[in-house]
Chains A and B, each alone.
Chain A
Amino acid sequence: MSVARDIITVAGVSAGVFFFFAGTVGLLRFPDTLTRLHALSKADNLGLGFVVLGLLPQTGGLRDGLKLISIWMFVLLAGATVSQLIARTARQSGSGK
């Protein structure tokens, strides 16, 4: 049973790492602010989500699992708000650079 848990953990965290890597490559390679924000939001939502999903089998109980998911929810909320604010500022400054 613990082997199945470890497999899920390794698979989930690896998928999360892949999305974080993709987001970082996007941050470094995309041309302007809006596209970079798009790449970063993938890292936030999918990357962290897969990492949390992978860690859920390792938690002690329901309460710890709910804490992990609430961490993901907070990061989603903060990331979405900040992305919107940055994007609006970038657009208003005209160049979108």
Chain B
Amino acid sequence: MNIATVFEIALAAVVLGLAIWTIAVPDTYSATVGFIAYGLLVALIWVRLDAVDVALTEAAIGGGLGGVVLLGAAARLRDTEAMTTEGPSLIVRLSAAILSASIAAALAVTILLLPDPAPTLAPSVVANAGATGMTNPVTNVLMAFRGMDTMLEKVVLLLAIVGVWSLASDQAWGGRPGPRHQADPNGVLAFLARLLPPAGIVVGIYILWTGADHPGGAFQGGAVLASMWLLVIMAGLVDTPPVRSRWLRLILVGGPGLFLAVGLGGLCFGAAFLAYPVAFAKPLILSIEVAMLLTIATTLGLLLAGAPERSAER
């Protein structure tokens, strides 16, 4: 039992305590704040598990942007706290508790009984790393070995945007998402929104660029860019774009579109769908990642902005 194990036990205990508090606390706003703290501490757990790319993603998208969208909803729904109906009956809650406890116990037993020469795909990843010329294995897997998953994930993001936009009322159809934010143009928020985004944009692009050889990548960089855009919107310096604007839709489709085009190119000129010719693999992957960065940043920002609420004419 060395000091690292003590630290891990303490971290796991704090995370579990936060999870219990998030479920049990009566006030929704407190539950949201607890969830954000939980997300950040889970990112620490990911670092302890030696998965730094996932830690970046969890901190940026899971805890960060997820927390922002939950906070916004909790703030808007504050008035409904008083009119909640009573919860499910004691019998339902008891059976839910028994069910959850048995599932958790089954998972715990599975963890303790996992097979001992653990099956792993790491040697295959190393063996095939020459195909792309990048040394970050997670980026290799995301962009080359399981590129199909990533392409389809981009399409899922697009479907989520379509779902959110379809919730606009008739009058606001194709309009601007969210309310018009007003902030004191000489105030602190406007100051931050002028000072931070240039640095944030550089950080986001850097995270994309360094993802080829070190932890990073398009998703994490896209989350940073999206948060810079949202900061500028929240300070009232720009307004959200109307969702029917053509350039916005082109950016949204650009990422998966380029991915699909490269895939079809692999089908026509190469061995299979999404097969990269070894000579051009790195430039192709980098160009796909740049398009993905723009699309992810725009998509995440728009998902946070919500359904259109104001008509575009105004």
Task: Determine whether A and B are in direct contact in the complex, meaning some CB atoms lie less than 8 angstroms apart.
Answer: yes
Closest to B200 in A: A74
A85 touches B189 (CB 8 A): yes
Number of B positions contacting A (CB below 8 A): 7
Interface presence of A84 (CB below 8 A): yes
Number of A positions contacting B (CB below 8 A): 6
Output the least CB separation between B161 and chain A (Å): 28
Interface presence of B24 (CB below 8 A): no
Interface presence of A59 (CB below 8 A): no
Interface presence of B199 (CB below 8 A): yes
Interface presence of A58 (CB below 8 A): no
Query: Per-position contact with A for B192-232: 1 when CB-CB < 8 Å, else 0?
Result: 10011001000000000000000000000000000000000
B195 touches A85 (CB 8 A): no
Interface members, chain B 238-275 (any A CB < 8 Å): none
Once the chains are docked, how many angstroms separate the CA of A84 from the CA of B192?
Answer: 11
B196 touches A77 (CB 8 A): yes
Could you jot down 14 A-B contacts, CB within 8 Å? A74-B196, A74-B199, A77-B192, A77-B195, A77-B196, A78-B192, A78-B196, A81-B188, A81-B189, A81-B191, A81-B192, A84-B188, A85-B188, A85-B189
List residues of chain B with CB under 8 Å of any chain A CB: 188-189, 191-192, 195-196, 199
Given pairs A81-B191, A85-B189, 12 additional interface contacts (CB within 8 A): A74-B196, A74-B199, A77-B192, A77-B195, A77-B196, A78-B192, A78-B196, A81-B188, A81-B189, A81-B192, A84-B188, A85-B188
